[in-house]
Structure formats: C-alpha cells, structure tokens
Amino acid sequence: MSLQEEARRVDGTWERVRREAYGPGEFVDQRGFMRAGEILGLAARAGVVAGTRVLDLCCGPGGPGLLITRELGCDYLGVDDNAAAVDRARRRAAGLGLRFDTRRVPPVPQGPFEVVL
C-alpha cells in the first residue's frame, strides 16, 4: 500500500470516528474538538454577521468556514498549507463565494479582517 493510500485509509477511519463522537449534526469536517454548535457560538461571540470579513488560519478542508458562512453570512478567506485540504474545501464550497488559499502561516495574509479564527 502506498503512503497516499494509507493516508486516505487513516483519514477515512478518523472521519468515521469523529462523526460518531460528535453526534448528529455536530460534525462539519472540523479538525479540532469543537462541535458545530460551539463553532457557531464562538463565531457569534466574535461578532460574525453578514458581511463580516473573516480570516480562517489553518482552515483544513473548510468545514467550519462553510458552516459559519451558511449560518451567519460572512466574507470568508480560509488559508492552509495543505494543498489537498484546500482543494477539498474549494470543491465543497463551489458557488458559495468562499475563498481559499494555499500558503504557509506566518506570514498572515494582508487585508482588512474583523475576525481571525
């Protein structure tokens, strides 16, 4: 088995474990330990509303970004150095107006952002 095949198998196993651990509706392809409701609560406390400019550092496959954009309506830029994760995020967000960029952090992307995740 190649390293890529092994990585996909392991990633698939972790995704199944996460779905079961989080419970119904709480897994949004996040890589951390926060549930979907906690992610939305944090974004709301940070002041994310329609039009808020949000920068998501280390966004991974973009699950939380998709969630907060759908639920709270914001101008979103997700950044991660994992090209495969960013490609997955772009595919999932096609047509939704979210932006994703593959780059290392630091440096932090330039721009006026009201909220950084």
* pLDDT score of 104 more than 80: yes
Q: Which residue has the higher pLDDT, 78 or 4?
A: 78
Residues 6+ apart with CB under 8 A from 111: 53, 55, 77
Please give the model's pTM, rounded to 2 decimal places.
0.81
Q: How far apart are CA 100 and CA 85, in angstroms?
A: 10
What is the H or E stretch that residue 72 is in?
helix 63-72
| pLDDT tens digits along 13-42 | 777 777 778 888 888 888 778 899 999 999
Position 108 scores a pLDDT of 92
Position 62 scores a pLDDT of 93
Pair of tokens at residue 62: 């973009």
Q: How far apart are CA 86 and CA 97, in angstroms?
A: 15
- Mean pLDDT, rounded, of the chain: 89
